[in-house]
Chains A and B, each alone.
Chain A
Amino acid sequence: MTFFFYLAAAIAIAATLLVITGRNPVHALLNLVVSLLAVAGMFFMLGAPFAGALEIIVYAGAIMVLFVFVVMMLNLGTATTDQERRWLTPKTWFAPAVLAGLLLAGLLDVLLGGPLHAAGLAEIDARQVGVHLFGPYLLAVELGSMLLLAALVAAYHLGRHD
């Protein structure tokens, strides 16, 4: 289990390096998804399955899909299909696929009964997260909503075309 934690950490770093060295935004995003999956794996190992699931659903799922859509939409043109074919060469999907495969292997190893680590024994579930968010961190949630409003107003003002 300790091994998988370090494996996931190494994969996260490798994938993130590929993100920042990638020249093509879509390829970079693909690597970013792998990096987020690896971080989610680390959350699972630390006994926080709720945080891990959120990481996958919200970051690797919703936000990344949005990113990919926007990037793809910006690239729309006559040569899109052609471009798509050129993008799907093994060179582009090989690195993310290998990293994701390693993650899967590590995860299977743990699921099939690897040794346990003390950090993963105490489980933090959705209920405990909720109790904390609406207990001592109540004001952080409220201020978080203001933060989102600020980002929304800023994006509206800067992104307006008239």
Chain B
Amino acid sequence: MMLTDIQFAAMSPLLLVSATIVVVMLAIACKRHHQGNATLSVIGLNLALIACGAMIYVAQPAMTVTPLLVVDGYALFYMALILVATLATATLSHAYLEGFKGEKEEMYLLLCLSALGGLTLACAQHFASLFIGLELLSIPLYAMIAYPVKSRRPLEGGLKYLVLSAVASAFLLFGIALIYSQVGSLSFADVGGYFAAGGSRIGMLGGALLLIGLGFKLSLVPFHLWTPDVYEGAPAPVASYLATASKTAVFAVLMRYFVEAGGYYQASLVQVLSWLAFASIVVGNLLAVRQNNVKRMLAYSSIAHFGYCMVALIAGGPLAVEAVGAYLLTYVVTSLGAFGVVTLSSSPMGERDADVIYDYRGLFWRRPYLASILTAMLLSLAGIPLTAGFIGKFYVITTGVDAHLWWLLGAVVVGSAIGLYYYLRLMISLFLLDPSKHRFSAPLDWAQRTGGIMTLLAMLLMLALGIFPQPFIHLLQVSTLIPAG
């Protein structure tokens, strides 16, 4: 198989990340140096991001690289989003791991490997690349969640994720096998043609098993039980990666499966999916209200947010891809900021993370800027106008109204109202005066560190998205998908 220069150029983000993995691994083998190895990985990821940006800028035409991958505007947008989330996680990990007693450098290697899996998913147009991408995304995550091996909770979280993720992969593989038995091909285009022509009951069963596997990774409601425990156990930067890059990559491939591989033709599965979205919104929000742990609260709120995002996917129609892109973009930027503040408050890593609401009591009076960033991010998660979250919700509701999904829209509205309650509860505790001594307080120089700069940038980007979304909307419009058939 000969690949042409243009194909290599189109694959450059993947190749650059792969090269980064090899270089970082060799650098670790030569000499362990936390700062140096972190810088190397960040440089490599930045180069990949620049390559993505350049290709989006010159409006690179869609390029098929072997039957497995396609690099089009859609793939480039999601690759850029995943790389941004990975870069943010890398900078946060740097601040966080300073206090870690064991070997710190593997985190960056695992992070780049996982990001490569995410990039593969963004480009996947074949079930083989879907599966390999998903595994490459998940396997480094087992070790990242359980990174502080000596502690009980991270280890427990890692083990839970490992076992349940393996079960989900088994469902996914069985689904793919059933679809293959009917279609005789693994490429999305052929499968799309098959389902467009009517499909069959076994093909439908395969589609259902596939959705179970992907629904687990997105933690939609009946498959969400692992989420709060894993988020709580995982080190704060890893939790931010799980909530952003990992879920974005899976949603990107799910959207492509729906548009190109005929997911929309399986009407009864779309119906089931709308129940899942409804349940995710209601259960996610209701359980988030009861949490006193910030990481658990953000976990439940991410379940609800992916319920909202699913509404845009279910609605279908011409605006769906753009709406999902807008929602994921705003969600990723906002979540990175929120988890960033949690990470910076917990850094350098101690016995436990600053994850109880009580730890944040009076944060405003100790670290006013950090508390302001968290406030802005929580407002955006709640979807208040002039923040990014509002633009995302606006898109979701627009597509929902177009598709007349009234009861799902009702759930979105009620869910947002409940969401406002628990986001405001955390926000109020930031401003309460509290005379007692505090264990958790971000270091005074946090703003000069890379992690601090990252959260500031996330907040500025979030406000830019909310106040002047036009350039981002233009970006989303060039990164849409054309339905097959």
Interface residues of A (CB under 8 A from B): 134-140, 142-144, 146-147, 149-151, 153-158, 160, 162
Contacts and interface: CB of A to CB of B under 8 A. Distances in A.
B146 A158 contact: yes
B142 A136 contact: no
Nearest to B67: A136
Contacts of B68: 136-137, 139-140
18 contacts: A135-B1, A138-B1, A140-B68, A140-B132, A143-B129, A143-B133, A144-B132, A146-B136, A149-B25, A150-B110, A150-B113, A150-B140, A153-B25, A153-B109, A154-B110, A157-B103, A158-B158, A160-B149
Given A136-B66, A154-B110, A157-B143, A143 B149 contact: no
Nearest to B187: A136
Contact of A143 (B65, B102, B114, B132): B132
Interface string B119-142: 010000000110011011001101
Given A136-B66, A139-B66, A162-B102, A153 B110 contact: yes
Contacts of B66: 136-139
B109 A143 contact: no
Nearest to B133: A143
Contacts of B113: 146, 149-150, 153
A98 to B, nearest CB: 27
A35 B154 CA distance: 34
Interface of B: 1, 18, 21, 25, 65-69, 102-103, 106, 109-110, 113-114, 116-117, 120, 128-129, 132-133, 135-136, 139-140, 142-143, 146-147, 149, 158
A143 B21 CA distance: 12
Contacts, number: 77
Given A143-B132, A143-B133, A151 B139 contact: yes
A6 B217 CA distance: 34
A140 B127 CA distance: 11
A149 to B, nearest CB: 7
Secondary structure at the A interface, as helix, strand, loop or mixed, is helix
Given A136-B68, A137-B68, A146 B18 contact: yes
A151 B113 CA distance: 10
Contacts of B139: 147, 150-151, 154
Nearest to B144: A154
Nearest to A145: B18
Contacts of A135: 1
A9 to B, nearest CB: 14
Which 9 A-B residue pairs are closest in the complex by CB-CB distance?
A: A154-B143, A150-B113, A150-B139, A150-B140, A135-B1, A157-B106, A136-B67, A143-B132, A138-B1
Of A147, A149, A157, most B-chain CB atoms within 10 Å: A157
Contacts of B114: 150
Given A146-B113, A149-B21, 19 more contacts: A137-B68, A140-B132, A143-B136, A146-B18, A147-B136, A149-B25, A149-B113, A150-B113, A150-B117, A150-B136, A150-B140, A153-B25, A153-B106, A153-B113, A154-B142, A154-B143, A155-B143, A157-B103, A162-B102
Secondary structure at the B interface, as helix, strand, loop or mixed, is helix
Contacts of A138: 1, 66
A136 B186 CA distance: 12
A151 B133 CA distance: 14
A86 to B, nearest CB: 31
Contacts of A158: 142-143, 146, 149, 158
A151 B106 CA distance: 12
A62 to B, nearest CB: 20
Contacts of B116: 143, 146
Contacts of A144: 132
A150 B142 CA distance: 10
Nearest to A134: B1
Contacts of A149: 21, 25, 113
Of A138, A146, A156, most B-chain CB atoms within 10 Å: A146
Contact of A154 (B1, B67, B132, B140): B140
B106 A143 contact: no
Contacts of A157: 103, 106, 110, 143, 147, 149
A139 B117 CA distance: 12
Nearest to A142: B18
B7 to A, nearest CB: 10
Contacts of B149: 157-158, 160
A154 B162 CA distance: 12
Contacts of B143: 153-155, 157-158
B129 to A, nearest CB: 7
A136 B143 CA distance: 31
Nearest to B11: A139
A140 to B, nearest CB: 5
Nearest to B137: A150
A80 to B, nearest CB: 29
A142 B68 CA distance: 12
Nearest to B123: A139
A140 B142 CA distance: 22
Nearest to B15: A142
Nearest to B128: A140
A156 B106 contact: yes
A26 to B, nearest CB: 22
Contacts of B103: 157, 160
Contacts of B120: 143
A71 to B, nearest CB: 19
A33 B136 CA distance: 27
